[in-house]
């Protein structure tokens, strides 16, 4: 029986150490060559029941990115079926002597702040060739071929003329977030706010252009100290 699960339930399951919840369950297999990666992907495609599951595979010269989910690509779209399929894919990788590197997983989202989403969303859909996400058609646009970043529209209550209206959300594994934030600060970035950490940090470059580092953790998880972030970046 397939049942919905939370990101925490997924990570607490046995046999999913190769995977991280970053827009679904994701991992990266370092194959070292296109030939090895091709053989790995072919073996994965022969797993029973795969056609009934949403699986995104990105084959590159030196590795394979895999993302899967049951209901939707957001962290709350996971199910018990994802756990079992992750275990099976990891077993196939071990048979091919391929090692997973879940620290390399990330997902990019372009976030647009809008006073009237209905007025701006159709423009972005047309110019990008994107389609509304079926379960949130008034908030998010997706590449129909799963190649490019998601565009998310954030409803604003009041205008913010002195701040960005468009920024990048970088979704990373929860165990990589503080290092990523620390690296950005060490590279000359500024911390705009960490009030929502470890769910997300708002950062900015030296000229005020913003980006968020986000995870599947909730904002009420234990806070992270700025000193920890700086140390992990060194």
pTM of the predicted model as reported, rounded to 2 decimal places: 0.85
pLDDT in tens, 67-114: 998 877 666 689 999 999 999 999 999 999 999 999 999 999 999 999
Average pLDDT across the chain, whole number:
89
Residue ranges, CATH 3.30.1360.20, the chain: 7-104
Predicted local distance difference test score (pLDDT) of residue 75: 64
- Please state which architecture CATH assigns to domain 7-104: 2-Layer Sandwich (3.30)
pLDDT score of 230: 44
175, 105 contact by CB (below 8 A): no
Report the alpha-carbon angle 38-40-42, nearest 5. Answer: 70
DSSP 8-state class, residue 176: G
As a whole-number percent, the residues of the chain with pLDDT over 90 amount to: 71
Q: How far apart are CA 159 and CA 149, in angstroms?
A: 25
Q: Which CATH number describes the domain made up of 107-233?
A: 3.10.180.10
pLDDT at 229: 46
Looking at the chain, which residues constitute the CATH 3.10.180.10 domain(s)? Answer: 107-233
pLDDT tens digits, residue range 148-186?
A: 899 999 999 888 777 778 999 999 999 999 999 999 999
The separation between CA 57 and the C-alpha centre of its own chain, rounded to angstroms, equals 14
From residue 219, give the alpha-carbon distance in Å to each of 107, 110, 192.
19, 21, 16
């Amino acid at each position: 029986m397939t049942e919905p699960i939370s990101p925490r339930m997924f990570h607490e399951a046995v046999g999913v150490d190769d995977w991280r919840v970053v827009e679904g369950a994701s991992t990266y297999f370092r194959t070292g060559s296109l030939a090895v990666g091709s053989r790995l992907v072919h073996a994965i495609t022969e797993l029973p029941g795969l056609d009934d599951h949403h699986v995104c595979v990105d084959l590159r010269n030196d590795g394979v990115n895999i993302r899967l989910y049951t209901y939707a690509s957001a962290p709350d779209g996971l199910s018990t079926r994802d756990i079992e399929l992750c275990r099976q894919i990891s077993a196939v990788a071990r048979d091919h002597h391929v090692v997973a590197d879940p620290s390399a997983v990330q997902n990019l989202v372009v976030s647009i702040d809008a006073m009237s989403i209905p007025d701006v969303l159709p423009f972005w859909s047309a110019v990008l060739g994107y389609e509304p996400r079926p379960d949130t058609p008034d908030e998010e646009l997706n590449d129909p071929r799963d190649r490019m970043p998601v565009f998310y529209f954030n409803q604003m209550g009041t205008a913010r003329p002195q701040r960005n209206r468009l920024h990048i959300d970088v979704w990373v594994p929860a165990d990589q977030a503080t290092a990523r934030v620390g690296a950005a600060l060490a590279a000359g970035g500024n911390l705009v706010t960490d009030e929502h950490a470890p769910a997300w940090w708002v950062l900015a470059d030296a000229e005020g252009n913003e980006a968020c580092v986000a995870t599947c953790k909730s904002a009420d998880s234990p806070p992270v100290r700025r000193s920890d972030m700086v140390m992990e970046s060194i």
